[in-house]
C-alpha cells in the first residue's frame, strides 16, 4: 500500500513540477537575476544592500558643493524595499 502511494506521489511530482527534464533526470530551474538590479545594487559584509544616490548625473551647477559631495556617497536601501531588491538579486 505504501509503495503504491509513493509511486503515485512520484508520478504527481514528475508531472506537476516546473523543473526541466531531460532523459528523466531532474534538473532544477536556474535562478535568473535581474541585470538592472545587478548593476545598481551591491551587498555589504553584514548583508545590507548599498545603492547610489539619485540626482548626481546632470544639472549640477545649481547644486551646492556639499550637496554634490554627499550625493556621491553610497546609501543603504530601506528595510521596506530590501525584500524586493533581494528578490531581484536572486537572494530570496
Tell which phi-psi region holds residue 9, choosing left (phi > 0), alpha (psi between -120 and 50) or beta: alpha
- Kindly report the CATH number assigned to the domain that includes residue 59: 4.10.410.60
Helix (H) and strand (E) counts for the chain? 4, 5
Domain that holds residue 37: 2-88
pLDDT of residue 75: 94
Q: Alpha-carbon dihedral of residues 6, 8, 13, 14, nearest 10 degrees?
A: 110
pLDDT of residue 88: 93
Mean per-residue pLDDT, 45-61: 94
Instruction: Dig out the grid coordinates for 71 from the structure.
Output: 550625493
Q: For 5-32, how does the pLDDT look when each residue is reduced to its tens digit (9 = 90+)? A: 555 666 666 665 555 555 567 778 888 9
pLDDT of 44 > 60? The answer is: yes
Number of domains in the chain: 1
Amino acid at each position: 500500500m505504501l509503495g503504491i502511494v509513493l509511486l503515485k506521489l512520484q508520478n504527481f511530482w514528475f508531472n506537476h513540477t516546473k523543473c526541466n527534464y531531460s532523459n528523466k533526470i531532474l534538473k532544477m530551474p536556474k535562478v535568473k537575476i535581474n541585470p538592472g538590479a545587478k548593476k545598481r545594487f551591491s551587498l555589504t559584509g553584514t548583508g545590507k544592500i548599498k545603492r547610489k544616490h539619485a540626482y548626481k548625473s546632470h544639472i549640477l551647477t545649481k547644486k551646492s558643493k556639499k550637496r554634490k559631495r554627499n550625493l556621491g556617497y553610497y546609501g543603504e536601501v530601506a528595510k521596506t524595499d530590501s525584500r524586493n531588491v533581494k528578490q531581484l538579486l536572486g537572494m530570496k
